[in-house]
Structure 1
Amino acid sequence: MVHKYLYLLCAFIIHECLGYLNLFLTSQEVQKTLGLDVELYYIRDGQINNNALAYVMDIPLNVDNLLISWESLNGKLPYNIGITTSNLHSITPKLNITQSGIIPTTLQTFTLSVPCTGTVADQVNIDISMNITLQPNNITTIKIQRKKNCKRNETPISSNISIDSKPVTNSVNIFYTAVGSAIILIGFLAICVLRYYLKEKKKKSSRGNSMQPHMTYLTSATRNPTSTCSYGSFRRMPSYSLIDERSKDLQERISELTIQRCRVGLNSVILEGTFGRVYLGSYTDENGRQEEVLVKTVTDHASQIQISLLLQEGMFMYSLNHKNILTILGVSIEDQTAPFLLYPYHSYKNLKVFLQKCKLNSEGVAHTLTTQEVVDMALQVIQGMQYLHKKHLWHKDLAARNCVVDDKLRIKVTDNALSRDLFPSDYHCLGDNENRPIKWMAIESLLQKEFSSSSDVWSFGVLLWELTTLAQQPYVEIDPFEVAAYLKDGYRLAQPVNCPDELFAVMAYCWAMSPSERPTFTQLQVCLQEFYAQLIRYV
């Protein structure tokens, strides 16, 4: 009996002391790693969330800093923190706080840096152990687990090494310094050759023609639509080195769509990534008529490869005309400025962002789209994909992030330009220097890089799953390196909550192992139209 009371007393003391401690991840931090707009508490008002502590969270390859928020609301609580990794040669973690001290009494955030060293490829386990002293003889241990896949084609070294171990030897740094210097030298020579070539080309093209004023990049948010534009910049061919002999077709497309930069105005940023932005802007034609447009562009520090991807992927929907396809309107490319890609705008929102915002309405009460609305949106995507396939074009990246929706739930399929930058948690690199939408791809696309109408059908099944889950991350518990094996073993996405069996059956058909066993978009259309008709009868 005495032991029972002692146990209750200890439990009471622990609860009272931890009752004034919060340890959590902010919604921005969870969005960065999991793609979910929620806060994740490890300790909330003293209550320990064992489920959160037991979950081993993946760190995306492009995320180098983990931010953890904490506060003590009742006096000083001493702490001691230690970090261990399974492979220090792949990751050398660093904290921006001391390993021991007092938990702050105001809400603060500390940072754990976990960049990959780039010398060894390995899946690295990272353990954050925190000892919190509640009483002189009462220490509570909190353990947070992470894992990260680092790239390098070398044999991984497995060891359990503490944070205080010595860093990697300088010989590796010397090697990479030498390689970097060589690359810089080669790049400098290439730029010199390119400038000489462009200079000679400009001299030839200017013979017999009068000098035209040089167009400058207008950086202000608004421009005067009535200003006089130099016709010399109209239909100017791009001078980027990214357009080589393989891109003559792309050159021709751009020349047909080139518009004058001074006719484009940038108003506000709709989406923004590390090197890319999507603006709400305006375009003024030769007759002075102005229309709202979406403008995709890159920031000043974007590389030539990123600019090349923007142009190549942005021109994918060139010359297409369908109510469920968002077709590019024009391209603005001028010397020394970032390219602008213009699209029509009718209050469009990115479908993934729209679905995520559906989780909370203005009153803060969770709600979902109706099944009828979900099926109707899916049918619109099918119509757009049917048109695309009639043109013998495979999308290869069909997902909610690559669709737009207006206020009346009208859907348009878009290209995937800037998607890797705007939605980095949706793309992963498996050591081949190619960022791919691993968890949306068909099994044959993952293993053999084979794409077809059937692989687009697989991706449509994942998009349908996104519609029913309000854009949750697919396979959130599966490591990107293990997705192919997971699919080969026959595992698939689970049936979402409140998803009708008929709708989940459609998804399952899309994920058949053999491409020949998957339905066509025409068959999917017939199936979903019948289901939609049934829904209308009972409403």
Structure 2
Amino acid sequence: MKHLKSIFLIFVQIIYYVKNSSASFNLYLSPQEMQRHLGLQAELYYVQDNRINEYALNFTLLLPPKLNTLYFTWKNTDSQELPYSISVETSNRAAIPYPKLNISSSGSVPTSTQTFAVSVPCTETIDAEVLISININVTFPGNNVTKLHLSRRKTCINENLKPYASKNSLTFADSSSVFYIAVCCAVLLILVLGVLITIYYVTDKKNKVAKSSGTGPGTTTTTFLATLPRNSVNISSYASFRRMPSYSLLDERSKDLQERITDLTVQRCRIRLSSIILEGTFGRIYQGSYTNEEGNEDTVIIKTVADHASQIQISLLLQEGMAMYSLNHKNILSILRVSIEDHTAPFLLYPFNNYKNLKIFLQKCKVSSEGVHHTLTTQEVVHMALQIIKAMQYLHKRHLLHKDLAARNCVIDDSLNIQVADNALSRDLFPSDYHCLGDNENRPVKWLALESLLHKTFTPSSDVWSFGVLLWELTTLAQQPYIEIDPFEMAAYLKDGYRLAQPINCPDELFAVMAYCWAMSPEERPTFTQLHVFLQEFFAQLTKYV
């Protein structure tokens, strides 16, 4: 009888515990907050009817530098009171000293849907990567405490040391100042144009006299480069010399550019073409060999054009091919040598380590089972992305912009080592990736940031946008982005908030990175340093399970 009584008491206690532990609550990010964080119209639940989303809790969200307030929505879905306590900590008090809550640090979870805020502004006095930890403890009936740990990572920037000044950073005292400055600039521009026209007229007259007399340097030198397109800026022209005809280059990095090019120039007899790797309407990429100064033969990639190529096409080959000369980084394919001789197309030589074009490599990865070139894992995709990030960090450290970052402008070897290359000949070899929007200029419309599309403005943030599309290419094995969108409608499509969809089998972590890269405002996009930190952590998590 005593045993039955004890069992009955235990049964009553169990019923009481179950009844009194039925209280539940929800904690989530609203669609508006998800739009601010990831550009997605969806809710993200951390707790839903007492079911804890461990995956979401373990995911550290990257915060744009200008995002200073976090919003969380919660609700007690039962009538029983649920006490809570909240604390917020940062890993660097000098960067983010005192996070603030707009609710009490302890109390009861509200029984109606409410939103609370966590303020995490940077002091903007130091550069730092700050980990923000939000700890929430909820006590259920029976003293059952549920502990939730939410992580955010934010990069704080020292505004006094910004390497790239904003276009809007200059201010003037009043409208009269603007008027006088504009008048002065207009007068100066007229004077400069007058001088240039005079010089052109005198030079042209001299050339005509020289040609009519059959003497002068103009009779023995072939000029390969015609007038550049109207969008070309900062063009430097150099006189002809024996080993290399006159040319023009878009490069601001060196005053002794002519001497550097002279150092790169080699005789055509040292170069031997072997086989064509890629071929377009006028562009050719060969595998060949080059005999160096020591007499050794090196295998090289050779970019050139066909005999029927126009002088403008030859000009663009030289401009774009020289964009990355003198750079020294293991993840950048820099030009090795140049060969330019009279009456022949120029040769641009690059080192060859069994490299293949990344876009073509990715496309081969998705063919039929008997023809599969390589099956990529998530770990390999992240590793490839990290290599591209390192290359872009190096470029931006040198205050250089790529402006055409895409899979077609990268190369990869058999060990999945990647190098970022220039975009020479890309318009011809991958014509479906470029579109003309009525301005007589082929541009990679579907890889460009919104401000680059609308205003032709290029910054490190616009390179970050293009990297997001490149990451999408890696996860989709080089599918065509926005394939259903007309190029003329791209700007309106992006302004309306539409973006590329999450690829099949793409981890949420990778898609979150893409979404950050496609933030509407350039200031809200992460830097390549932030991207490297996040993807390095994600890569480390992946390797734990291998």
**Could you say which TM-score interval applies, normalised by the shorter chain?**
0.5 to 0.7
User: What residue is the counterpart of 2:511 in the other structure?
Assistant: 504
User: What residue is the counterpart of 2:173 in the other structure?
Assistant: none
Q: What is the alpha-carbon root mean square deviation over aligned residues? A: 3.0
Deviation at 1:249, TM superposition (A): 6.1
Deviation at 1:274, TM superposition (A): 0.3
Deviation at 1:526, TM superposition (A): 0.3
- Opposite residue 285 of structure 2, the aligned amino acid is V
Q: Does 1:238 align with 2:208?
A: no
User: What residue is the counterpart of 2:486 in the other structure?
Assistant: 479
Q: Any idea what SS the aligned residue of 1:363 has?
A: helix
State which of 453, 465, 468 in structure 2 corresponds to 1:461.
Answer: 468
User: What residue is the counterpart of 1:388 in the other structure?
Assistant: 395
In the TM superposition, 1:359-374 aligns within 5 A as 359-360=366-367, 363-364=370-371, 368-374=375-381
- Opposite residue 326 of structure 2, the aligned amino acid is S
Does the CA contact (< 8 Å) of 1:237 and 1:251 recur in 2? no
- Opposite residue 309 of structure 1, the aligned amino acid is L
2-structure distance, mates of 1:463, 1:532: 18
Q: Does 1:448 align with 2:455?
A: yes
Judging changes above 3 Å, is the alpha-carbon distance between structure 1 residues 194 and 358 closer, same or farther for their aligned structure 2 residues? farther
- Opposite residue 245 of structure 2, the aligned amino acid is S
2-structure distance, mates of 1:194, 1:490: 61
State which of 182, 207, 216 in structure 2 corresponds to 1:200.
Answer: 216
State which of 370, 373, 383 in structure 2 corresponds to 1:376.
Answer: 383
Q: Any idea what SS the aligned residue of 2:439 has?
A: coil
Q: Does 1:401 align with 2:417?
A: no
Does the CA contact (< 8 Å) of 1:368 and 1:470 recur in 2? no
User: What residue is the counterpart of 2:318 in the other structure?
Assistant: 311
Tell me, which stretches of 5 or more residues in structure 1 are unaligned? 1-188, 206-213, 215-234
- Opposite residue 216 of structure 2, the aligned amino acid is E
User: What residue is the counterpart of 1:293 in the other structure?
Assistant: 300
Judging changes above 3 Å, is the alpha-carbon distance between structure 1 residues 364 and 325 closer, same or farther for their aligned structure 2 residues? closer
Q: Any idea what SS the aligned residue of 1:265 has?
A: strand
Q: In the comparison of the two structures, how many residue pairs are matched?
A: 324
State which of 330, 349, 356 in structure 2 corresponds to 1:342.
Answer: 349
Deviation at 1:254, TM superposition (A): 2.2
User: What residue is the counterpart of 1:220 in the other structure?
Assistant: none
Does the CA contact (< 8 Å) of 1:282 and 1:292 recur in 2? yes
- Opposite residue 428 of structure 1, the aligned amino acid is H
Does the CA contact (< 8 Å) of 1:277 and 1:298 recur in 2? yes
2-structure distance, mates of 1:290, 1:242: 30
- Opposite residue 372 of structure 1, the aligned amino acid is Q
Larger radius of gyration: 2
State which of 514, 521, 528 in structure 1 corresponds to 2:521.
Answer: 514
Tell me, which stretches of 5 or more residues in structure 2 are unaligned? 1-204, 223-240
- Opposite residue 200 of structure 1, the aligned amino acid is G
Deviation at 1:239, TM superposition (A): 1.9
Judging changes above 3 Å, is the alpha-carbon distance between structure 1 residues 407 and 401 closer, same or farther for their aligned structure 2 residues? same
1-structure distance, mates of 2:528, 2:213: 48
Deviation at 1:447, TM superposition (A): 0.5
Deviation at 1:252, TM superposition (A): 4.0
Does the CA contact (< 8 Å) of 1:236 and 1:333 recur in 2? no
In the TM superposition, 1:41-52 aligns within 5 A as none
Q: Does 1:412 align with 2:419?
A: yes
State which of 411, 430, 434 in structure 2 corresponds to 1:423.
Answer: 430
Q: Does 1:257 align with 2:264?
A: yes
Does the CA contact (< 8 Å) of 1:360 and 1:367 recur in 2? no
In the TM superposition, 1:49-60 aligns within 5 A as none
Judging changes above 3 Å, is the alpha-carbon distance between structure 1 residues 513 and 261 closer, same or farther for their aligned structure 2 residues? same
Q: Report Cα offsets for 1:158-213 as digits up to 9, x if no partner.
A: xxxxxxxxxxxxxxxxxxxxxxxxxxxxxxx99989977996127899xxxxxxxx
2-structure distance, mates of 1:483, 1:274: 27
Give the TM-score normalised by the residue count of structure 1.
0.56
2-structure distance, mates of 1:245, 1:466: 29
2-structure distance, mates of 1:488, 1:528: 28
Does the CA contact (< 8 Å) of 1:348 and 1:407 recur in 2? yes
Give the TM-score normalised by the residue count of structure 2.
0.56
Q: Any idea what SS the aligned residue of 2:300 has?
A: strand
In the TM superposition, 1:344-359 aligns within 5 A as 344-359=351-366
1-structure distance, mates of 2:263, 2:357: 27
Q: Any idea what SS the aligned residue of 1:380 has?
A: helix
